[in-house]
């Protein structure tokens, strides 16, 4: 099922034999921009023609990562670095393929009942956990129930009424009501519905041992130093696929050891890369890329787009409660200037919270209010709003330099149209604490990555439609559109609801989309078989001696 | 003397206890908590609120404080929220790194700092004196984070003599550990070498003008015997005071150096815990750091008595 996005109607899932008629019947999304999607995804996967070469087994691949991970509980966090590591250790029943469609991973197949309420998954035989235990439906049931009980993203499964295990190889999920997007949620790689041994799944958040079914298993974790994964020798590769396919497919762990070295200082990361101590930097600052590109032993990989920069607006706090003031802010912004400061040139302009080329991209719809950089209009709107110089507080996290730079430039642009701006910089936990309050802030730059990349607009606007919206304002029409996006029976109906939701967000300035950001990685030329994706995949990759 | 030591230890316990209570209270006032870190940057307000409850962060201040003190009285420093281990285990992992780095840096500081200072004093107003004091001034003036990055670029990337960062445990390879710690130790000690060299020079100049030194010289003792045996011991008394301060500075300096060289030491443990609001680690780390500093001060006071027979502490 591909209710939002996809390359074509003939994806990998369709080529697998056990797909039910009921599932196929729902695949009705009109792909208006298929050719562009193909171009985008081809650009995404075209790096390194090494698949044709003969892989070499062995060695240690050292990857520099800019920060440690907050938890090894795969269900407990949305952390980006954590996701990179966890996706090598854990697997779900259903994952996403290269085209971002739901596709079987640990499941052999799935079917949907005629009433659309029961999803039944057959578990692939011979899947073994890192501790040697064979995966059964009891483990699957316990894992799904744990996700529903404690996961940070348990809302994805909030419509599951019951999980059952009719036999040792089958697990079934009965929904409270028909949910067209259920498989989207069940297969998302953001916080995966990982399969854990049932005895671990019984444990509370952050109390589990790191035991998954993935191609690599945890050997050692030294906080602030490294995370070392070693090959899972009894890994049951999915031989139905010819090779790697998104986060599913035939995963081969050619490399013995993956050593994630935690290097918080960017100059130290670059030095380690140039000295050959690490084979890959998961992230390098964009300003260092021109110099690093001169090194013939290194290859630059730019993931564009990797995420979005946006501006949260606190509508509960005057003067942002006035629509005209919000529109004045929207009119004043020079997005090129902001994004250039945030990302040293590695950005693209985009008014939507979906990416160009995706089926959910609204084209030029809504573009008229974007990047206007019209100071005269902003001043006029402020005058109409009766703005009397009330202070506008921008809070930003110095923990992330792109947020700090974004806030700084926005502050200057708003001052230029006559607004009284206070810029408050603090660390990330303090920003989160402050922005959860109704007062004390007006604007806050933010970043979101995986949701937009998945092509799921519901994830992209999640912070505006939850029980506690991030802008402190429950906009009735937006909540109605969001319900339609989730529940309308046809893909076209859901798509149109999404377009209306975006119109509403832009018209009422419920948040301000700034731009799309790239993400630069550097790789040693020793690394073969690597293809770029939203997060680094180090299976089916090997080292050239 | 025993009574004096016991008295100091008793007051040290009170100081350490107060430090932990104050730091616990201050951290409770600082906005933000570890729920936002565990949840990740993409989490919604509702998801963060749910994690806050999972972690017990919704409990009132006094309840959390009582839990912390009750655990402490039973010798339990608690469990880190973010490190998947107890605070005691986290500290036990990190302490060897910081101790090794500090000992290495302090050894360099003592040998080079005192050496440069004494050498400069003995050759007062010569080019040797000028050179030693220029080196000392550079050490004091240049920020060690800048020097650290410069060292990495030159000695690690350009010459390839040392690793750019990372820690090798001594039980794995003694030579590997020493090589890995050399650049961090030099970067950490340069400021301290500068301070100690300037202090050693002025102390030595003062001592060299004393009557007993003139007498020793008049008796015909060799020059280096006069300096090494008679003058140096008296120079050490003010230097011990400075050394205590330098050791404190060195401990705080490890934070920057450990970050630049990716060393998993106590400095990074505490700073990361503060940035991510890992309360049990902050409490445990500060408790141990405060204890270490109190003990260093006590040791310095006791060294006075050993170095200078005129100093006696009443029981």
Judge: B165–A463 Cβ closer than 8 Å, yes or no.
Answer: no
User: A330: part of which helix (H) or strand (E)?
Assistant: helix A323-332
**Chain A partners within 8 Å of B53 (Cβ):** none
Q: For residue B222, what are the contacts with CB-CB under 8 A and spacing of at least 6? A: none
CB-CB under 8 Å, B44 with A428? no
Helix (H, G, I), strand (E, B) or coil at A307: strand
Verify that B41 and B118 share a domain, yes or no: no
Q: Which of A71, A431, A451 sits opposite B42 (nearest CB)?
A: A451
Asked whether the beta carbons of A295 and A274 are under 8 A apart, the reply is: yes
HEC letters along B25-46: HHHHHCCCCCHHHHHCCCCCHH
B54 in contact with A, Cβ within 8 Å: yes
Burial zone of A454 (CB within 10 Å; 0-12 exposed, 13-18 middle, 19+ buried):
buried
Residue A220's DSSP bridge partners are A228
Cα gap A80→A86, rounded to integer Å: 10
Place of tokens 């079914």: A213
Residues facing residue A311 across a β-bridge:
A445, A512
Predicted TM-score (pTM) of this structure? 0.84
Quote the CA–CA distance of A368 and A346 in Å, as a whole number.
23
Say what the ipTM of the complex is.
0.77
A-chain residues within 8 Å CB-CB of B32?
Answer: 427-433
**Which chain B residue is nearest to residue A436, measuring alpha carbons?**
B45
Residue-level pLDDT at A31 = 32
Which pLDDT belongs to residue A14?
29
Mutate to test the interface with A, among B26, B27, B28, B41 (most CBs of A within 10 A): B41
Determine the distance in angstroms separating the CA of A339 from the nearest CA of chain B, rounded to an integer.
19
CB-nearest partner of A78 from B43, B84, B156: B43
Any A CB within 8 A of B213 CB: no
pLDDT along chain A (545 residues), means of 10: 44 30 34 38 44 82 92 90 95 95 96 96 97 98 96 93 97 95 93 97 92 97 93 96 94 97 91 94 95 95 94 96 98 97 95 93 95 97 96 92 94 97 92 89 91 87 91 96 94 95 97 96 96 94 91
Cα–Cα distance, A185 to A154 (Å, whole number): 10
Whether residue B116 is found in the same domain as residue B58: no
**Which range marks the domain in which residue B96 is found?**
88-307
**How confident is residue B315, by pLDDT bands cut at 50, 70 and 90?**
low
Angstrom distances, CA of residue B268 to CA of A79, A317, B252:
20, 38, 10
Tokens 């260093």 belong to B296
d(CA A241, CA A127): 16
Bridge-partner residues for A281, per DSSP? A64, A522
How far apart CA A125 and CA A110 sit, in angstroms, is: 14
Tell me the two tokens of residue B227: 């300096």
Instruction: Give the whole-angstrom CA distance, residue A329 versus residue A382.
Output: 9
Average pLDDT, stretch B181-196? 91
Q: Is there a contact between A221 and B84 if contact means CB atoms under 8 Å apart?
A: yes
Of the residues B44, B73, B102, the one at which a domain ends: B73
Of the candidates A14, A33, A95, A210, the one whose C-alpha atom is nearest the C-alpha of residue A537 is A95
Cβ atoms of A356 and A493 closer than 8 Å: no
Contact between A282 and A227 (Cβ < 8 Å): no
Burial degree of B35 (CB within 10 A; 0-12, 13-18, 19+):
buried
Q: Are B275 and A429 inside 8 Å of each other by CB?
A: yes
Which residue in A has a C-alpha nearest to residue B152's C-alpha?
A271
Closest chain A residue to B52 measured between Cα atoms?
A152
Nearest-Cα distance to chain B for A54, in Å, is: 32
Q: Structurally, what CATH architecture does the domain formed by A12-262+525-543 represent?
A: 3-Layer(aba) Sandwich (3.40)
Closest CA to B297 of B8, B87, B6: B8
A263 and B165: CB-CB below 8 Å? yes
Alpha-carbon distance A45 to nearest alpha carbon in chain B (angstroms): 25
Candidates B45, B84, B163; nearest CB to A277 = B163
Whether A525 contacts A298, CB under 8 Å = yes
Residues B35 and B109 occupy one common structural domain = no
Residues B132, B275, single domain; the answer is yes
Chain B residue closest in CA terms to A210: B84
**Nearest-by-Cβ selection for A430 from B32, B38, B157:** B32
pLDDT band at B220 (very low <50, low <70, confident <90, very high): confident
B51 chain-A contacts, CB cut-off 8 A: 76, 152, 205
Q: How many other CB atoms sit within 10 Å of the CB of residue A102?
A: 25
Q: Which residue has the higher pLDDT, B301 or A371?
A: A371
B positions 62-81 inside 8 Å of A (CB): 81
Beta carbons of A152 and B50 less than 8 Å apart:
yes
User: Does residue B32 belong to the interface with chain A, where contact is any CB pair within 8 Å?
Assistant: yes
Same domain as B156, residue B56: no
The CB density around residue A61, as the number of other CB atoms within 10 Å, is 23
pLDDT band at B301 (very low <50, low <70, confident <90, very high): confident
Q: What is the CATH number of the domain that holds B139?
A: 1.10.3720.10
CB spacing of B167 vs A427 below 8 angstroms:
no
Superfamily grouping for domain A307-517: Dipeptide-binding Protein; Domain 3 (3.10.105.10)
Judging contacts by C-beta atoms under 8 Å, the chain A residues touching residue B284 are: none
Chain B positions in Cβ-Cβ contact with residue A204 (cut-off 8 Å): 54
Sign of the dihedral through C-alpha A469, A475, A479, A481: negative
Instruction: Give the gap in angstroms from C-alpha A275 to the nearest C-alpha of chain B.
Output: 5
State residue A449's pLDDT score: 83
Residues B19-44 have pLDDT tens digits of 888 888 888 888 888 888 888 777 88
Strands, E assignment, A211-344: 216-222, 226-231, 244-245, 248-249, 257-262, 280-281, 298-313
Rounded to 10 deg, the angle between the B127-141 and B115-122 helix axes is 150
- Test B166 with A261 for CB contact under 8 angstroms: yes
- Give the residue extent of every domain in chain A: 12-262+525-543, 307-517
In angstroms, the Cα distances linking A172 to A105, A109, A144, A212, B38 are: 16, 12, 10, 21, 30
> Are B150 and B278 part of one and the same domain?
yes
The residue of chain A with its CA nearest to that of B262 is A263
Report chain B residues whose CB lies below 8 A from the CB of A206: 38, 54, 81, 84
pLDDT score, position B236: 80
> Residue A350's pLDDT is what?
97
Which residues 104-163 in chain B show a CB within 8 A of chain A? 149, 152-153, 156-157, 160, 163
Chain B residues within an 8 Å CB radius of A227: none
Instruction: Give buried/exposed letters for A530-541 (b at 16+ CB in 10 A, else e).
Output: bbbbbbbbbbbb
> CA A171, A176, A179: angle at the middle one, nearest 5?
85
Q: Which of A122, A144, A152 is nearest to A195 (CA)?
A: A144
| Contact of A249 with A241, CB cutoff 8 Å | yes
Residue A443: how many other CB atoms lie within 10 Å: 26
Q: Are residues B93 and B57 in the same domain?
A: no
Query: Which of A111, A120, A119, A116 has the alpha carbon at shortest distance from A179?
Result: A116
B69 and B94 share one domain: no
| A471, A311 contact by CB (below 8 A) | no
Which residues of chain B lie closer than 8 angstroms to A431, CB-CB?
Answer: 32
Instruction: Tell me how close the Cα of A416 comes to any Cα of chain B, in angstroms.
Output: 31
Quote the pLDDT of residue A9: 34
Q: State whether residue B36 sits within 8 Å of chain A by CB.
A: yes
Q: Minimal Cα–Cα distance from A338 to chain B, Å?
A: 20
Residues B43, A152: C-beta atoms closer than 8 Å: yes
Q: Which residues contact A403 (CB under 8 A, 6 or more apart)?
A: A342, A396, A397, A445, A446, A447
pLDDT at A11: 30
Contact check, Cβ <8 Å, B262/A264:
yes
Of B38, B164, B272, the CB nearest to A268: B164
| B50 assigned to some structural domain | yes
Alpha carbon of B254: minimum distance to chain A alpha carbons (Å): 14
Number of domains observed in the structure of chain B: 2
> Which secondary structure element, helix H or strand E, spans residue A269, and what is its range?
helix A266-274
**Do B68 and B93 share a domain, yes or no?**
no
Cross-chain Cβ contact B31/A70 below 8 Å = no
pLDDT digits 0-9 by tens, B52-100: 888 888 888 888 888 888 888 888 888 888 888 899 999 999 989 998 9
Question: B248 and B144 in one domain?
Answer: yes
Taking CB atoms and an 8 Å cutoff, what residues of chain A touch B268? 224
A80/B40 Cβ within 8 A:
yes
List the structure tokens of B234. Answer: 């008296």
B39 touches chain A (CB under 8 A): yes
B260 in contact with chain A, both atoms CB, cutoff 8 A: yes
Min CA distance, A274 vs chain B (Å)? 6
Tell if the CB–CB gap between A205 and B165 is shorter than 8 Å.
no
Under an 8 A CB cutoff, do B164 and A271 touch? yes
Q: Which of A155, A225, A275 sits opposite B167 (nearest CB)?
A: A225
Residue A275: list chain B partners with CB under 8 A.
156-157, 160, 163-164
């Amino acid at each position: 099922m591909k209710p939002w996005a996809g390359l074509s109607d003939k994806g990998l899932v369709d080529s697998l034999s056990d797909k039910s008629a009921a599932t196929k019947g729902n695949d009705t999304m009109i792909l208006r921009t298929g050719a562009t999607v193909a171009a985008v995804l081809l650009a995404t996967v075209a790096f390194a023609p090494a698949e044709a070469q003969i892989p070499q087994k062995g060695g240690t691949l050292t990857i520099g990562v800019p920060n440690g991970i907050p938890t090894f509980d795969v269900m407990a966090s949305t952390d980006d670095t954590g996701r990179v590591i966890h996706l090598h250790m854990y697997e779900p029943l259903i994952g996403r393929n290269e085209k971002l469609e739901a596709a079987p991973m640990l499941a052999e197949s799935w079917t949907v009942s005629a009433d659309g309420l029961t999803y039944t998954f057959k578990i692939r035989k011979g899947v073994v956990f890192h501790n040697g235990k064979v995966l059964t439906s009891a483990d699957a049931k316990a894992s799904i129930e744990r996700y529903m009980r404690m996961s940070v993203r348990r809302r994805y499964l909030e419509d599951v009424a019951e999980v059952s295990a009719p036999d040792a190889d089958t697990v079934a999920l009965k929904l409270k009501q028909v949910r067209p997007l259920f498989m989207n949620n069940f297969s998302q790689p953001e916080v995966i519905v990982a399969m854990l041994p049932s005895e671990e799944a019984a444990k509370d958040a952050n109390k589990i041992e790191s035991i998954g079914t993935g191609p690599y298993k945890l050997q050692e974790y030294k906080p602030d130093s490294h995370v070392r994964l070693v090959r899972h020798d009894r890994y049951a590769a999915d031989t139905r696929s010819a090779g790697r396919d998104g986060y599913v497919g035939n995963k081969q762990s050619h490399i013995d050891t993956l050593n994630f070295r935690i290097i918080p200082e960017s100059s130290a990361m670059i030095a380690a890369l140039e000295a050959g101590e690490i084979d890959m930097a998961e992230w390098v600052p964009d300003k260092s890329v021109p110099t690093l590109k001169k090194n013939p032993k290194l290859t630059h990989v730019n993931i564009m787009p990797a995420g979005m920069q946006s501006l949260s607006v606190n509508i509960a706090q005057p003067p942002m409660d006035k629509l005209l003031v919000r529109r004045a802010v929207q009119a004043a912004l020079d997005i090129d200037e902001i994004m250039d400061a945030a990302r040293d040139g590695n950005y693209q302009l985009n008014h939507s919270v979906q990416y160009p080329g995706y089926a959910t991209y609204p084209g030029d719809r809504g573009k008229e209010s974007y990047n206007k950089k019209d100071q005269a209009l902003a001043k006029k709107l402020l005058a109409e709003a009766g703005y009397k110089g009330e202070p506008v507080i921008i809070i930003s996290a110095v923990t992330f330099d792109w947020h700090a730079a974004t806030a700084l430039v926005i502050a200057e642009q708003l001052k230029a149209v006559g607004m009284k701006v206070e810029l408050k910089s603090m660390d990330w936990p303090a920003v989160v604490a402050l922005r959860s309050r109704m007062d004390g802030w007006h604007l806050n730059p933010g970043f979101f990555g995986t949701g937009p990349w998945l092509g799921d607009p519901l994830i992209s606007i999640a912070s505006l439609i939850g029980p506690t919206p991030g802008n402190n304002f429950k906009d009735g029409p937006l909540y109605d559109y969001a319900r339609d996006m989730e529940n309308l029976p046809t893909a076209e109906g859901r798509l149109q609801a999404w377009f209306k939701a975006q119109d509403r967000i832009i018209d009422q300035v419920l948040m301000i989309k700034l731009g799309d950001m790239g993400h630069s990685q550097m790789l040693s030329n020793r690394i073969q078989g690597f293809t770029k994706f939203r997060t680094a995949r180090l299976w089916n990759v090997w080292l050239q001696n | 003397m025993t009574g004096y030591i016991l008295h100091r230890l008793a007051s040290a316990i009170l100081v350490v206890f107060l430090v932990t209570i104050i730091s616990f209270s201050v951290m409770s006032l600082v906005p933000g908590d570890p729920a936002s870190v565990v949840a990740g940057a993409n989490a919604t307000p509702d998801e963060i609120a749910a994690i806050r409850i999972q972690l017990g962060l919704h409990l009132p201040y006094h309840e959390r404080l009582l839990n912390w003190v009750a655990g402490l009285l039973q010798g339990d420093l608690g469990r880190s929220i973010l490190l998947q281990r107890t605070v005691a285990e986290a500290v036990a992992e990190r302490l060897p790194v910081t101790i090794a780095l500090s000992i290495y840096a302090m050894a360099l500081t003592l040998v080079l700092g005192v050496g440069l200072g004494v050498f400069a004093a003995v050759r007062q107003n010569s080019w040797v004196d000028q050179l030693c004091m220029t080196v000392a001034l550079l050490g004091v003036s240049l920020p060690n984070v800048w020097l650290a990055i410069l060292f990495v670029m030159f000695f690690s990337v350009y010459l390839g003599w040392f690793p750019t960062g990372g820690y090798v445990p001594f039980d794995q390879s003694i030579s590997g550990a020493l090589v890995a710690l050399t650049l961090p130790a030099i970067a950490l000690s340069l400021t301290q070498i500068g301070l100690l060299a300037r202090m050693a020079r002025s102390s030595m100049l003062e001592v060299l003008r004393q009557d007993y030194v003139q007498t020793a010289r008049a008796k015909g003792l060799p020059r280096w015997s006069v300096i090494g045996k008679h003058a140096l011991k008296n120079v050490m008394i003010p230097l011990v005071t400075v050394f205590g301060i330098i050791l404190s500075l060195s401990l705080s300096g490890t934070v920057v150096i450990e970050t630049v060289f990716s060393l998993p030491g106590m400095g990074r443990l505490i700073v990361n815990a503060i940035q991510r609001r890992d309360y049990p680690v902050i409490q445990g780390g500060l408790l141990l750091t405060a204890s270490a500093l109190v003990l260093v001060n006590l040791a310095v006071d006791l060294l006075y008595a050993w170095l200078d027979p005129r100093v006696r502490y009443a029981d």
